[in-house]
Structure 1
């Protein structure tokens, strides 16, 4: 007899639930608890709740095969890689379990805006479940742009595997490269690319430095690698890119956002207020982040010739979300929209998908 959702289960039973596509993610979420200390590289901090899941030492250390070629150890922060992997597997298995019914196939590669584990309906959730699209997703919360590009990217394997079927490629990346952790692990990239506080200094002047310029140049170079690769092998197939929206650094007085998986100032606010930067005014913080997001979107538009006359690549299209999220209440945390906002964003992406499909 199946156990009631409220009863305690073993880790093996939890894995079986993940492997069962008929078990909804809302039910899986019940067995997890938030842990902000695990929230590294912009990944929400989640782990199996010890009050609901029995885990032996062997469970924590046993390598779980997540993909055909990837294994991760379920221990400490690595538990999140286990979770990411299972959720990716579920999406892919669900796609493979359905016959080709003629709907245009999408391929997704990206970060937590394309794969937010369990607690939010991200862009891909909205496109697949609300707007009826079908697609293959390799996205992972916490993924960095440089990782997704490395070695031709996991996306190339998918594009080649489904070369006779896929119609549109969607990509989401760079948030982790702008406000994520330094490669050294000591602090945030923000502390290197934003200048320290000076009384009366305009927001733009905080970004007038070589480190910020090099960061943006690096993002452009990586996007060009992706676009050169895909357009070189699959000329004429549309590629959709987005540049996020104007995020609100958290932790200020009156900040209404409270989540279990991250502190209010987990990724931006605490580093803006750090001893190194000392930028305490949350309005100024937001103005600086807004300029960074605008610069990033301008860079993407210069690449996207599909809907920008001077864009470098005619196959690339820029989808602009900035006007859709204008208030702090549009955000679930510092970097991720609420479900309602993801629905608005997904609708904008759906609109662009349908427009570009008309050109294929």
Structure 2
């Protein structure tokens, strides 16, 4: 099975790209630009993007969609980043002018076949969520959701997406964008669990192991996990209806923006590591769906439809 290379260090990406070009294999190798949050970058386990880059050996036998020609991935995602600009930590916002200026230079220098985006989940949780519901109590999940809507947060995130994607689209109108929804959280109030394999990253995560939802809705909704799940479900559906769908239907993007709907695919508590992140096995399940949609976006010569020899080692 062809292998893929994920190179977060830009010099390594440049060298690999040049090597493929010199060897005349670039016309068969998918080159993917990746920007996102912890669903693309969490170090606790193989995340969504890790599984797309490096499928499990048994995936091919099970008929899971594979990159027929391997792939070269330019990865700049970071855990904790938000989509919209933020005042407290402006350097942790993805869709800003500063980040755009930096990334657009790379995007226009290389022939990318697709842009993968994972953004928006962090914009609605943690201290922002607590402040949005501050002083409220005895709310139903629907009332709490309406309070979030009233802040204009969905508009802010949608505008940030449109700013970033629009600039990339104007630079390269032929390149498709593929984002994703989040699945419905189940372990409301649970923090990340560390095992033997991920204890080494504990020091790096510090306070970022959650929980990011439960403590911030407790005053408004109480400790009823059923109500917490219902509220989180409304948030995610709102993100789809008010951010992703309008972008998908935005005539200025000429049908180049699309998203993978991952809602409802992880219905069991055992599929989740904490409030916001699936387990490694959970991410693996979602990656099979995401990868299949990504392959559909690629040129035929790079999707495995015309060749089956490995191109990236």
Partner SS for 2:113: strand
Contact 1:113 1:172 in 2 (8 A): yes
Report matched runs for 1:78-89 at 5 Å. Answer: 88-89=8-9
Whether contact under 8 Å (1:303, 1:312) holds in the other structure is: no
SS, match of residue 277 in structure 1: helix
Relative to structure 1, is the Cα distance of residues 92 and 336 closer, same or farther in structure 2, using a 3 angstrom cutoff? Answer: farther
Structure 2 gaps of 5+ residues are 1-6, 56-65, 86-92, 302-313
Equivalent position to 2:235, from 292, 311, 334: 292
Query: Could you tell me which of 236, 241, 246 is aligned with 1:302?
Result: 246
Equivalent residue for 1:347, pick from 288, 300, 305: 288
Residue from 92, 97, 103 that aligns with 1:155: 103
Instruction: Say yes or no: does 1:189 pair with 2:189.
Output: no
Q: Paired residue for 1:229?
A: 167
Q: 2:274 aligns with which of 333, 349, 354?
A: 333
Q: Structure 1: any 5+ residue segments left out of the alignment?
A: 1-86, 181-187
Match of 1:209 in 2: 147
Residue 256 of structure 1 and its aligned partner are, at CA, apart by: 10
Aligned to 2:89: none
Is the Cα contact below 8 Å between 1:192 and 1:211 reproduced in 2?
Answer: no
Aligned to 1:258: 193
Deviation of 1:250 after TM superposition, in Å, equals: 3.3
Kindly state the Cα deviation for residue 194 of structure 1 after the two structures are TM-superposed. Answer: 3.8
**Would you say how many aligned residue pairs link Structure 1 and Structure 2?**
252
Secondary structure at the counterpart of residue 120 of structure 1 = coil
Bigger helix fraction: 2
State the superposition RMSD in angstroms.
2.8
Q: Which has the higher contact order (CA 8 A, sep 6+)?
A: 2
Residues in 1 aligned to 2:287 and 2:14: alpha-carbon distance in whole angstroms: 19
Residue 168 (structure 1) aligned to one of 114, 136, 150? 114
How many Å separate the matches in 2 of 1:96 and 1:114?
A: 23
In the other structure, the counterpart of 2:12 is 93
Q: CA deviation at 1:281?
A: 0.5
1:31-57 Cα distance to aligned partner (Å, 9 max, x none): xxxxxxxxxxxxxxxxxxxxxxxxxxx
* SS of residue in 1 equivalent to 2:8: helix
Deviation at 1:134, TM superposition (A): 2.0
Determine if contact 1:264/1:334 at 8 Å carries over to the other structure: no
- Give the direction of change, closer, same or farther, for the CA distance of 1:328–1:263 in structure 2 (3 Å limit): farther
Q: Deviations over 1:170-221 (max 9, x none)?
A: 11111221113xxxxxxx11123347332xx532111223664411110111
Distance of 2:94 and 2:298 partners within structure 1:
25
Task: Please give the TM-score of this superposition, normalised by the length of structure 1.
Answer: 0.63
Quote the residue 1:46 is aligned against.
Answer: none
User: What SS class does the counterpart of residue 109 from structure 1 fall into?
Assistant: strand
| Distance verdict in 2 for CA 1:156–1:266, change over 3 Å | same
- Within the alignment, does 1:357 sit opposite 2:285 as a pair? no
> What TM-score, normalized by structure 2, do the two folds share?
0.72
- Are the structure 2 counterparts of residues 346 and 231 from structure 1 closer, same or farther at C-alpha, using a change threshold of 3 Å? same
The structure-2 alpha-carbon separation of the partners of 1:106 and 1:257, relative to structure 1 and needing over 3 Å to count, comes to closer
